Amino acid sequence: MWTRDKDGEHMEDRHTDQPGIGYSPEVRDALAHGAPVVALESTIISHGLPRSINLDVARELEAIVRDGGACPATIAVLDGVVHVGLADHELERVASGQGIRKLGARDLVLAMATGESGATTVSAVCMVAARAKIRVFVTGGLGGVHRGWQESLDESADLVMLSRTRLTVVAAGVKSILDVPATLQRLETLNVSVIGYRTGRFPGFYLADSGLPVEWSLDSVAQIAAVMRSQDALGAQGQALLVANPVPVERQLDPALHDQVLREALSAAADRQIGGQALTPFLLDFIARGTGGASVDANLAAVRGNAALGAAVAVAYAGDAA
């Protein structure tokens, strides 16, 4: 088990060889010794979960990673400094939402230059984790190609960043509010390898099966680590490996309820002319309310499973490299 340094460290305790990036003592020590590290996003804390549970979930996910033998590195920007690893009081600050913006990869330099604070999305974590030489990243569901993309050309920055960073990303597929077939096609075009973990079906975030197959399926973390080693041996450009880990069937959102509420959410968004960056949070909130919180439960089940799998993959890969 990986143990955490005492809370309450100050910035002067952080390793800041790279300007604007600070490493917590725990993460700094793990990286220095080649120990397994798992990157975690912070938007799930600030924007993705209700305030009543978000901080507890953030702590729980870090605990799951530690119990799996790896070091968690939750990433956020505080007062213009990118933090790789957060102390508990910093998790509390992100969870409060006060003055915490939502930061994608394109926003990082702006937040750093202006001293802003924000939580990191998938694209931002990809950029920072790759810079920090962290190989494994855990999230809930990825962004992707939005419905109606033919008119809006709306596509998440997550996909392009996955094509530029050699990370192993453990996720429960992509959010079901998206155009899933178009997203899978886009991942193929971007040369991002997609594997199903113990499944031949691509998961749909709240759902164990989006209705689409995956071409490759692996059954063990040893196999995933072997793929990562093959990436290293090939020396190819830094495309990600997406490990699609479905939410357990018994914990998924009821598919019929999901489809009904999603139709209602999309109709409401169209009626109110909601689009752009406001669309995803609107739809997710609508679905949470429309399912009586069942979608939040499915989300939590997915991300907990992803954290455990991500830790196991990081441990296997670090052991192979030792």
Task: Encode pLDDT of 180-200 as tens digits.
Answer: 999 999 999 999 999 999 999
* pLDDT > 70 fraction of the chain, expressed in percent and rounded: 89
Q: What are φ and ψ of residue 109, in 5° steps?
A: -65, -35
User: pLDDT tens for residues 109-141?
Assistant: 999 999 999 999 999 999 999 999 999 999 998
Specify the residue for token string 């991002």: 192
Name the segment(s) of the chain with CATH classification 3.40.1790.10: 1-134, 149-322
Q: Which residue has the higher pLDDT, 277 or 32?
A: 32
pLDDT above 90 for 175: no
pLDDT band at 6 (very low <50, low <70, confident <90, very high): very low
> pLDDT per residue over 51-92, tens digit each?
889 999 999 999 999 999 999 999 999 999 999 999 999 999
Question: According to the model, what pLDDT value does residue 308 have?
Answer: 98
Q: What is the pLDDT of residue 145?
A: 83
Which pLDDT score is estimated for 48? 82
Please give the mean pLDDT across all residues of the chain: 89
pLDDT at 151: 61
Would you state the pLDDT for residue 29?
Answer: 97
The pLDDT confidence band at residue 17, using thresholds 50, 70 and 90, is low
**pLDDT at position 143, please?**
83
Q: Looking at residue 8, what is its pLDDT?
A: 42
Closest CA to 280 of 102, 56, 75, 92: 102
Instruction: Calculate the CA 17 to chain-centre distance.
Output: 26
* Burial label, 50 (beta-carbon count in 10 A; 0-12, 13-18, 19+): exposed
* Catalytic residue (choose from 9, 41, 62, 155): 41
Q: 10 Å Cβ neighbour count for 133?
A: 9
The number of residues in the chain equals 322
Closest residue by Cα to residue 242 from 318, 310, 177 = 310
In the predicted model, is pLDDT for residue 107 greater than 90? yes
Q: 133 an active-site residue?
A: no
pLDDT (tens digit per residue) in 220-256? 999 999 999 999 998 766 889 999 999 999 999 999 9
Task: Please list the residues that pair with 38 across neighbouring strands.
Answer: 72, 136
Collect all residues with Cβ–Cβ distance below 8 Å to 56 and sequence separation of at least 6: none
Q: Which of 9, 26, 90, 175 is catalytic?
A: 175
H or E, element range at 313: helix 294-321
9 catalytic residue (yes or no): no
d(CA 290, CA 207): 16
User: Cβ distance 247 to 206 under 8 Å?
Assistant: yes
- What's 194-215 look like in SS3? EEEECCCEEEECCEEEEEEECC
Architecture per CATH, domain 1-134, reads as 3-Layer(aba) Sandwich (3.40)
Q: Are 177 and 290 in contact (CB under 8 A)?
A: no
Is beta strand 136-138 parallel, antiparallel or unpaired with respect to 81-84? unpaired
Asked whether 213 and 169 are in contact (CB, 8 A), the reply is no
Backbone angles phi, psi at 115, to 5 degrees: 75, 20
pLDDT at 9: 45
Residue 12's pLDDT is 42
Please report the DSSP string for 35-51 in residue order: --EEEE-SHHHHTSS-T
Q: What is the mean pLDDT of residues 162-178?
A: 91
Looking at residue 18, its pLDDT comes to 64
Identify the CATH homologous superfamily for domain 149-322: Indigoidine synthase domain (3.40.1790.10)
CA distances from 194 to 158, 173, 213, 214, 313 (A): 14, 10, 11, 7, 15
